[in-house]
């Protein structure tokens, strides 16, 4: 059976694939798990389906609004070498799953009139934010983009989706450096006198697409694949292989994640946050991941897709109306959808018994949940959330103690800036991960690693971080970014590492190529001393005086409970804070 299409004039053809060893073929018999409305499941196997895939299966069974799809279990990709194709048995089962997904979605993969587009996402049993690869808008080509434009009535949206596919597929599957695409985009905006991607029209994206396609063919010696079936085959294999990319390997070594887990692959019908002002994408925590305070905490970006928020390249708007710029908040712009989101978030926290990190998309006023997982949190937040949940009756006091690694209590004794030092701050940003640190400024990962090897504490300063910065973040004592928000890559990874972090310090002008950071009339060079405080967002020149806090509130209560239950016997936090299974 081949991947189906409603267009008889241009049938999909799956390229022939070499057959792998019998040991891998034996694993494909039971590796596809579908999810969606009307498909009931109990608890899903996280090790087989990954945290993301298992949660999607479970959420669909709870009638949470998730786009339909299916998960390919991790064992199907174990042992897949750099030159290996997917086994024929697995391809046949993917074909069957696509047919079922088409019936659920009411569209057809590769159809020229009403195309079904797919996302292909990684997801291991242990959360590894940003370390592996995902591809969106799969199924678009020179023919189906016209069908999407006609079906949606929005040519700009359709061509924006197509260029996003060419860009992400070109990077992840075909190895084209991402900055090459960005250079073409910046060049076009300069030619047209435009500042933001949102200013580009449908005609702008039409003009850029041939440039993107030529770049792929020039760099790779072969064109971008126009066959959606080939796109899917290559994308699934690439996401399986991303388990072994250098940043994922470095992350696992840092956090003692077993090498043999592998990643599952989730194939899901696309929903679109870039469909206009009643659409958007966002990330939220059901409680503040820095302080543990109750209530939704997150960000929203209208008329955008998910990578625009988590990459840190765009400054998002607030989720709640009690934040700065309330008129731009999701709560004000889309009040009914916000109310639904708040109710869903509460259900998910109760269903899974922990603070949740939720990714969501709104398509033309309709809410979809793309992911929910136990959220990374600071040590302060880990303690307060555990204590609050015990007092709310969601968990026992014994469980509250078990959820907090003893190291988290040590981290709560970290120093903070003395009160008089705050007045000397040259810039402020979002307090993304608490604690203060003094170190030598480094503007590239290479410089951060070099200075740290020389014995110097380092403050890694970046416009925004990306997964390629994992070695520099590991080497740093603290992290500061000029762009990005509370849920950006820098903030999320720093909290998981227990590093102090300040994000979105917009007064900073960081030039990594020149090796300088400018703030007002002041120039900071590689090796100059900086102090940052991730508890209040301050950036101070030089070595500033610090002070140590006295345990009180939730920390004092947890210490009392720890004495009752013997906290020393528990070592459950895989990354220093939070529950063992993320």
Structure tokens at 85: 């194709």
pLDDT in tens, 272-293: 998 888 999 999 999 999 889 9
Specify the CATH number for the domain of residue 444.
3.50.30.10
Percent of the chain at pLDDT > 70 equals: 89
Q: How far is CA 314 from the centre of its chain?
A: 14
Work out the number of other CB atoms within 10 angstroms of the CB of residue 278: 15
139 and 97 share one domain: yes
Cα dihedral sign, 147-148-153-156:
negative
> Does residue 10 form part of some domain?
no
Mean pLDDT of all residues in the chain?
86
In 3D space, the residue among 377, 320, 427, 387 whose CA is nearest the CA of residue 573 turns out to be 377
- Map tokens 């434009």 to a residue: 149
pLDDT at 338: 97
Same domain (yes/no): 45, 163 = yes
Q: Is residue 9 part of a domain?
A: no
Q: Per-residue pLDDT for 367 more than 80?
A: yes
For residue 322, give the DSSP letter: T
Lowest mean pLDDT among 69-73, 256-260, 497-501: 256-260
Which residues does 264 contact at the CB level (< 8 Å), separation at least 6?
48, 49, 50, 52, 53, 71, 72, 73, 74, 77, 122, 123, 124
- How many Cβ atoms are within 10 Å of 4's Cβ, its own excluded? 17
Name the DSSP class of 36. S
Which pLDDT score, from 0 to 100, does residue 313 have?
Answer: 57
Q: Mind listing the pLDDT tens digit for each residue in 144-167?
A: 999 999 989 999 999 999 999 999
Q: Distance between CA atoms of 459 and 527, rounded to whole angstroms?
A: 9
Same domain, 428 and 387: no
pLDDT at 18: 36
pLDDT digits (tens, 9 = 90+) for 173-205: 999 998 899 999 999 999 999 988 878 999 999
Residues 163 and 46 in one domain: yes
The torsion region of residue 2 among left (phi > 0), alpha (psi -120 to 50) and beta comes to: beta
Q: Is the pLDDT of residue 447 over 70?
A: yes
Give the pLDDT mean for 532-546: 92
Please report which confidence band the pLDDT of residue 3 belongs to, taking 50, 70 and 90 as the band edges.
Answer: very low
Q: How confident is the model at residue 19 (pLDDT cuts 50, 70, 90)?
A: very low
Q: What is the pLDDT of residue 11?
A: 34
Query: How far is the C-alpha of 565 from the C-alpha of 573, rounded, in Å?
Result: 17
> Does 122 fall in a domain?
yes
- pLDDT (mean) for 97-115: 93
> How many alpha carbons fall within 13 Å on the CB side of residue 570?
26
Q: Return phi, psi of residue 371, to 5°.
A: -165, 145
Q: Provide the residue count of the chain.
A: 582
Verify that 430 and 406 share a domain, yes or no.
Answer: no
Domain stop point among 269, 302, 318: 269
Assess whether 322 and 237 both reside in one domain.
no
Q: Answer whether 107's CB lies under 8 Å from 116's CB.
A: yes
pLDDT at 43 over 80: no
Same domain, 178 and 254: yes
Identify which has the larger pLDDT, 26 or 201.
Answer: 201
pLDDT tens track for 254-274 = 778 888 889 999 999 999 998
pLDDT at residue 237 is higher than 90? yes
Looking at the fold, whether 249 and 295 belong to one and the same domain comes out as no
For residue 538, what are the domain limits?
Answer: 416-547
Q: Phi first, then psi: give them for residue 265, nearest 5 degrees.
A: -125, 125
| Residue found by looking up tokens 């925004």 in the block | 464
- How many C-alpha atoms does 144 have within 13 Å on its Cβ side? 30
C-alpha distances in Å from residue 370, one per residue of 43, 124, 291, 434:
18, 15, 25, 28
Beta bridge partners of 540: 531
497-505 average pLDDT score: 91
414-430 pLDDT, tens digit per residue, is: 778 888 888 889 999 99
Whether residue 81 is found in the same domain as residue 115: yes
Contact 267, 69 (CB under 8 A): yes
129, part of any domain: yes
Q: Does the predicted TM-score (pTM) go above 0.75?
A: no
Q: Is 480 helix (H, G, I), strand (E, B) or coil?
A: strand
Average pLDDT over residues 123-141: 86
User: Domain boundary at 245, 269, 293, which?
Assistant: 269
Tokens at 537, concatenated:
């967002």
> Which residue(s) pair with 462 in the sheet?
481
Are 83 and 220 part of one and the same domain? Answer: yes
> Are 499 and 467 in a shared domain?
yes
Which residue in this structure is represented by tokens 């300040």? 502
Domain count, the chain: 4
Q: What's the CATH number where 35 sits?
A: 3.30.1490.20
**Domain assignment present for 582:** no
What value does the mean pLDDT take over residues 33-45?
A: 79
Distance of CA 465 to the CA centre of its chain: 12
Q: Could you tell me the CATH number of the domain that includes residue 292?
A: 3.30.470.20
Nearest CA-CA partner of 209 in 263, 155, 131? 155
At which of 225, 241, 269 does a domain end? 269
Is pLDDT at 8 greater than 70 in this prediction? no
Supply the pLDDT for residue 210: 95
Q: What angle do CA 389, 393, 399 make, to 5 degrees?
A: 60
CB < 8 Å & 24+ apart, contacts of 143-150: 143/10, 143/112, 143/226, 144/110, 144/111, 144/112, 144/115, 144/228, 146/112, 147/111, 147/112, 147/113, 147/114, 147/115, 148/115, 148/117, 149/202, 150/113
Decide if 67 is inside a domain: yes
157 and 119 both lie in a single domain:
yes
CATH code of the domain in which 392 resides: 1.10.189
Is residue 316 in a domain? yes
Q: Which of 12-16, 96-100, 125-129, 353-357 has the lowest mean pLDDT?
A: 12-16
Structure tokens at 375: 């959220």
Residue 535 confidence (pLDDT): 85
Q: Would residue 305 count as lying in a domain? A: yes
Please identify which residue in the block is written with the tokens 């908040």.
329
Q: Does the structure show a pLDDT above 70 at 17?
A: no
As a whole-number percent, the residues of the chain with pLDDT over 90 amount to 60
């Amino acid at each position: 059976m081949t991947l189906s299409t409603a267009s008889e004039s241009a049938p999909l053809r799956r390229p022939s694939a070499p057959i792998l060893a019998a040991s891998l073929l034996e694993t494909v018999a039971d590796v596809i798990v579908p999810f969606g409305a009307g498909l009931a499941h109990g608890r899903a196997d996280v090790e087989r389906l990954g945290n993301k895939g298992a949660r999607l299966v479970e959420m669909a069974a709870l009638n949470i609004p998730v786009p339909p799809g299916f998960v390919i279990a991790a064992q199907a990709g174990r042992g897949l070498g750099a030159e290996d194709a997917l086994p024929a048995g697995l391809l046949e089962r993917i074909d069957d799953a696509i047919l079922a997904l088409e019936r659920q979605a009411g569209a057809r993969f590769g159809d020229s009139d009403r195309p079904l587009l797919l996302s292909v996402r990684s997801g291991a049993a242990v959360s590894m934010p940003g370390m592996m690869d995902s591809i969106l808008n799969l199924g678009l080509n020179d023919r189906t983009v016209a069908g999407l434009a006609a079906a949606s009535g929005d040519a700009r949206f359709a061509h924006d989706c197509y260029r996003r596919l060419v860009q992400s597929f070109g990077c992840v599957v075909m190895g084209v450096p991402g900055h090459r695409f960005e250079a073409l985009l910046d060049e076009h905006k300069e030619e047209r006198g435009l500042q933001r991607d949102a200013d580009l029209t449908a005609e702008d994206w039409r003009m850029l697409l041939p440039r993107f396609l030529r770049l792929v063919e020039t760099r790779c010696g072969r064109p971008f694949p126009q066959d959606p079936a080939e796109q899917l085959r290559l994308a699934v294999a690439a996401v399986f292989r991303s388990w072994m990319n250098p940043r994922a390997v470095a992350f696992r070594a840092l956090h003692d994640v077993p090498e043999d887990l592998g990643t599952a692959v989730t194939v899901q019908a696309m929903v679109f946050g870039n469909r206009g002002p009643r659409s958007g994408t966002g990330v939220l925590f059901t409680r503040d991941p820095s302080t543990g305070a109750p209530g939704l905490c997150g960000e929203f970006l209208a008329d955008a897709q998910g990578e625009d928020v988590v990459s840190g390249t765009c400054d998002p708007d607030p989720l709640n109306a009690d934040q700065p710029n309330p008129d731009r908040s999701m709560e004000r712009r889309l009040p009914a959808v916000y109310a639904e989101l708040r109710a869903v978030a509460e259900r998910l926290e109760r269903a899974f018994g922990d603070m949740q990190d939720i990714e969501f998309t709104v398509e033309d006023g309709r809410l979809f949940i793309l992911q929910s997982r136990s959220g990374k949190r600071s040590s302060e937040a880990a303690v307060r959330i555990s204590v609050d949940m015990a007092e709310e009756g969601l968990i026992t006091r014994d469980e509250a103690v078990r959820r907090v690694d003893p190291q988290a209590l040590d981290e709560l004794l970290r120093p903070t800036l003395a009160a008089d030092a705050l007045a000397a701050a040259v810039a402020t940003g979002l307090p993304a991960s608490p604690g203060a640190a003094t170190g030598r400024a480094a503007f590239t990962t290479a410089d951060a690693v070099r200075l740290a090897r020389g014995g110097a504490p380092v403050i890694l300063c970046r416009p925004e971080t990306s997964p390629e910065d994992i070695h520099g973040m590991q080497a740093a004592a603290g992290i500061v970014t000029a762009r990005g928000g509370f849920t950006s890559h820098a903030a999320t990874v720093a909290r998981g590492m227990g590093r102090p972090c300040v994000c979105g310090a917009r007064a900073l002008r960081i030039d990594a190529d020149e090796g300088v950071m400018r703030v007002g009339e002041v120039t900071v060079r590689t090796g100059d001393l900086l102090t940052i405080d991730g508890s209040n967002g301050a950036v101070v020149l030089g070595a500033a005086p610090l002070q140590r806090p006295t345990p009180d509130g939730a920390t004092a209560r947890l210490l009392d409970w720890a004495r009752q239950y013997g906290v020393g016997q528990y070592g459950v936090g895989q990354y220093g804070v939070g529950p063992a299974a993320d």
